[in-house]
Structure 1
């Protein structure tokens, strides 16, 4: 197992919480390589924590240990777990849905409940609100450094009983493709959907086609317009919208050099629906 430990939280970096996790991990093994996935998950947003893991985990070496702490139920009776993925990575996290996208799209082959009698920072037993430091960073560091094996994390639990969030599937009904806005390309404000390139192309859509795109939050429509399916952002004029294939091979929605999310106040998750319909090309008589 490599000595790579990757941390993700909704803590931000404006105080000492993340630094404390680093300190605990390095106290276990000063030779650990510790990296940040992100600490800017929106507060309590388990869905986004789940998706960012899916976006990232597969690109790391086998044996890498991820600690993900988006934990609105900290101190409650929710379980603390470590899962082993189908591509041989480990995720240390609350059992609150954080492993949803990994389980459904990569696969989880084993899961164990953290035995806090063994895998908890010494002298922290009366603290109930910082499991990211006391349980997850500590256990993750012990696992990544080889102080404990996966089997020594704690008792095995049934993978099928892990908590999962609702994840709607993209589909084609007649001439309409439907899906969800799963996540934002945050810095640029692009929308990343769950509509795969393969599903999109199976509807007979090719680059350059014009499409009617509708976005709704539950039943409230927030956007409807015509846009082009382009290979590159430069396939449209500055400020124009387009559909494109993102780095996860799914459909994205963007404004060329603008933020689509900010322009139309669009967020993410299972309640944010997108529908796409191909429209005939308009041929003007000369």
Structure 2
């Protein structure tokens, strides 16, 4: 039986690019089960592509093949790779940092580099700008359908050689925890931090406790206020901010039925820092 094939890109769905990837995969094997992780990654945003893989991959079965194409360096000397995770899943992607969160959190067992020219859709001709269709979807479909085998495809390279984007770890400093805003829960405008719930609980946390929350963009403070730590959004009034544990077991910040990111013009990435300190008297 064919393995599941999951696509992620920054192509959007306003034209035929993603449909063409589906067509290539279906031509390789009409029985393939093809799914979309997302095609709304912001253009060229490798960091978000890496995070969305991390957000989703643990909920897919062993053997699933992921194709992630956010590739501002298409046609350059950057490598094309297949990585096998510790849970025996596969990710086909340009080696440009897309595997950063998988490598750090989920774990990568082995990596193979493959020749783009030798593994290009035969009908692509002289085009070298649509690798998502001509190389990654084509290779992903062949891997998912069993036409090629990971252990006998391409050349093995050290896992350590895979390109990583910089990550600033979260930490505890005396009576507060500090981290960065990794990504947004885009549709709702919630902030997802890299602060693990275990680190947060080192502050002696109970639901209902109030915390001083500080957000800065490099050295410029954007937000400083207090809010409650809640089990869910409904625990506070509509329009009120809250701290909560998100679906990845990290600390999130939200406005109940509102967009925190939009309300305060909050962004994401390594220059967006956030800290939490429990208000005195809330033990």
1:162-212, Cα deviation, whole Å (9 max, x unpaired): 100111111001112100111111111111111111111112122111101
CA distance in structure 2 between the partners assigned to 1:251 and 1:172 by the alignment: 14
Answer with 233-242 or 114-123: which moved more. 114-123
CA shift for structure 1 position 125: 5.0
Matched position secondary structure for 1:110: strand
CA RMSD of aligned residues (A): 1.2
Matched position secondary structure for 2:224: strand
CA distance in structure 2 between the partners assigned to 1:230 and 1:117 by the alignment: 53
Which residue of structure 2 aligns with residue 67 of structure 1? 67
Which residue of structure 1 aligns with residue 174 of structure 2? 174
CA distance in structure 2 between the partners assigned to 1:69 and 1:232 by the alignment: 34
TM-score, length of structure 1 as denominator length: 0.96
CA distance in structure 2 between the partners assigned to 1:219 and 1:133 by the alignment: 42
Alignment pair present for 1:183 and 2:183: yes
Contact 1:2–1:64 (Cα < 8 Å) also in 2: no
Alignment pair present for 1:200 and 2:200: yes
CA distance in structure 1 between the partners assigned to 2:268 and 2:67 by the alignment: 23
Alignment pair present for 1:238 and 2:238: yes
Which residue of structure 1 aligns with residue 97 of structure 2? 97
1:151–1:118 Cα change, 3 Å: farther
1:135-167, Cα deviation, whole Å (9 max, x unpaired): 100000000000000034311111101100111
User: Would you identify which runs of 4 or more consecutive aligned residues in structure 1 move more than 3 Å?
Assistant: none
CA distance in structure 2 between the partners assigned to 1:152 and 1:17 by the alignment: 30
Which residue of structure 2 aligns with residue 251 of structure 1? 251
1:89-142, Cα deviation, whole Å (9 max, x unpaired): 000000000000000001001101122343211142522211101110000000
CA shift for structure 1 position 67: 0.3
Matched position secondary structure for 2:155: coil
Matched position secondary structure for 1:118: helix
- Give ranges in structure 2 of 5+ residues lacking alignment: none
Contact 2:2–2:32 (Cα < 8 Å) also in 1: no
Which residue of structure 1 aligns with residue 53 of structure 2? 53
Contact 1:139–1:153 (Cα < 8 Å) also in 2: no
Matched position secondary structure for 2:216: strand
- Give ranges in structure 1 of 5+ residues lacking alignment: none
TM-score, length of structure 2 as denominator length: 0.97
Which residue of structure 2 aligns with residue 34 of structure 1? 34
